């Protein structure tokens, strides 16, 4: 990608609030406690028509934890597959200061002249809530367009010991969760079971977009993602678009998540604890998973 990225502002991901702590119905202490920040982010795109005329289009307003916003936008656009990311010439904050935590809550993506996207597919008429990234989309089917099973060269196996270690390794990298207990984490790991990057956000889909957007120079390849929570349709769709071949999760998958993993040959393990786990797809890739 040849576009220039304007420097992201240093943004605070936690705030301190005074709380009253109760035990057995009685106040036991009054003290300061940290909570995760949640703020809206407007995503706009600028495209050039014939000549020098241009259009600026509002795509979405998402509720997210500030930080890695450019990566979030790149990862989100990548998952939608509406443009080639190499057609982006610039990503920058724009607009007036409207919130305490950042210079702007608006990002403008500028495209090369003559490039346009199928924006009617992705435009939201309301907020994208931190709990749901696909809510408000015009269609679900097109999110899966042009997706195929993961290439065999990107598949790899994992041992039980490595599988058990991944959630703890992810949690050790989740600084915002450690401070607040209020955000999701997603980690990218390679075939050696090394977590290469961890991203956090109040919305799990935002954390995944940040992770993908921050690692587009690595992807695709023999990589997996480890999730701090459950596995939904949108998490698998984003993983499939990034050509990730394994998903390891602390929580449970949904029925549609399992179906998509099976369709795209993504190995899926859930409820991963220190002494047990469930394998939902590609059991042969979990070394020892079928041993009695």
CB 267 within 8 A of CB 166: no
Taken in order 197, 202, 204, 209, the sign of the CA dihedral is negative
The residue out of 142, 164, 182 marking a domain boundary is 142
Residue 218: CB atoms within 10 A of its CB come to 14
Helix (H) or strand (E) holding 263: helix 255-264
Which of 142, 166, 189 terminates a domain? The answer is 142
The predicted-structure confidence for 135-191, as pLDDT tens digits, reads as follows 555 566 778 888 899 999 999 999 999 999 999 999 999 999 989 989 999 999 999
Report which DSSP code applies to 95: S
Tell me which of 142, 167, 192 is where a domain ends. Answer: 142
Residue corresponding to tokens 């002249």: 113
Clarify whether residues 134 and 84 are in a common domain. Answer: yes
Q: Which two tokens stand for residue 125?
A: 């008429």
173 and 281 assigned to the same domain:
yes
Q: Provide φ and ψ at 150, rounded to 5°.
A: -60, 140
160 and 269 belong to one structural domain: yes
Instruction: Specify whether 207 is located in the same domain as 107.
Output: no
The mean predicted confidence, pLDDT, of the chain is 87
Q: Are residues 106 and 220 in the same domain?
A: no
Q: How far, in Å, CA of 135 to CA of 140, rounded?
A: 9
The answer to whether residue 19 is domain-embedded is no
Specify whether 222 is located in the same domain as 118.
no
Supply the DSSP string of 32-82, one letter for each residue.
Answer: EEEEE--EEEEEEEEEE-STT-EEEEEEEEEEE-SSSHHHHHHHHHHHHTS
Looking at the structure of the chain, the number of domains it has is 2
List the catalytic residues: 132
273 is a domain residue? yes
242: DSSP letter: T
Asked whether residue 47 falls in the same domain as residue 119, the answer is yes
For a pLDDT cut of 90, what percent of the chain falls above it? 67
Q: 87: helix, coil or strand? A: helix
Same domain, 121 and 210: no
Question: How far apart, in whole angstroms, are the C-alpha atoms of residue 268 and residue 282?
Answer: 7
List the structure tokens of 272. 């991963």
4 part of a folded domain = no
Its pTM stands at: 0.87
Looking at residues 261-290, what average pLDDT do you find?
91
Domain span including residue 211 = 152-287
| β pairing state of 26-36 and 39-48 | unpaired
CB proximity list for 172: less than 8 A, separation 6 or greater: none
**50 and 85 assigned to the same domain:** yes
Whether 15 is covered by a domain: the verdict is: no
Average pLDDT over residues 266-273: 97
* 51, 76 Cβ separation under 8 angstroms: no
Tokens (6 digits) for 148: 């195929």
- Looking at the domain assignment, is residue 249 inside a domain? yes
CATH for 268: 3.40.140.10
Contact between 170 and 225 under an 8 Å Cβ cutoff? The reply is: no
Quick: pLDDT tens for 86-144: 999 999 998 765 555 555 789 999 999 888 777 877 766 555 554 555 555 556 677 88
- Cβ atoms of 107 and 70 within 8 Å: the answer is yes
């Amino acid at each position: 990608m040849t576009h220039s990225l304007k420097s992201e502002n240093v943004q605070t991901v936690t705030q301190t609030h005074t709380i009253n702590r109760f035990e057995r119905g009685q106040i036991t202490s009054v003290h300061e406690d940290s909570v995760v920040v949640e703020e809206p982010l407007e995503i706009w795109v600028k495209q050039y028509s014939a000549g020098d005329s241009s259009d600026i289009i509002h795509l979405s307003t998402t509720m997210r934890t500030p930080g890695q916003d450019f990566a979030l936008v790149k990862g989100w656009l990548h998952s939608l597959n509406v443009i080639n990311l190499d057609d982006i010439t610039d990503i920058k904050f724009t607009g007036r200061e409207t919130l305490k935590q950042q210079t702007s809550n608006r990002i403008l993506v500028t495209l090369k002249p003559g490039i346009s996207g199928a924006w009617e597919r992705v435009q939201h008429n309301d907020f994208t809530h931190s709990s749901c990234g696909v809510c408000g989309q015009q269609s679900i089917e097109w999110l899966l367009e042009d997706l195929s099973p993961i290439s065999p060269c990107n598949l790899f196996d994992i041992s039980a010991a490595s599988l058990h270690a991944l959630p703890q390794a992810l949690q050790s990298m989740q600084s915002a969760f450690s401070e607040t207990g209020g955000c999701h984490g997603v980690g990218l790991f390679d075939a050696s079971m090394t977590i290469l990057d961890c991203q956090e956000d109040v919305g799990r889909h935002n954390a995944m977009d940040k992770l993908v957007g921050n690692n587009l120079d690595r992807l695709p390849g023999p990589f997996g993602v480890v999730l701090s929570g459950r596995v939904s349709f949108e998490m698998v769709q984003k993983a499939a678009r990034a050509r990730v071949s394994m998903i390891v999760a602390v929580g449970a998958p949904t029925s549609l998540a399992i179906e998509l993993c099976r369709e795209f040959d993504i190995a899926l393990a859930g409820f991963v604890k220190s002494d047990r786990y469930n394998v939902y797809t590609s059991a042969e890739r979990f070394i020892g998973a079928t041993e009695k």
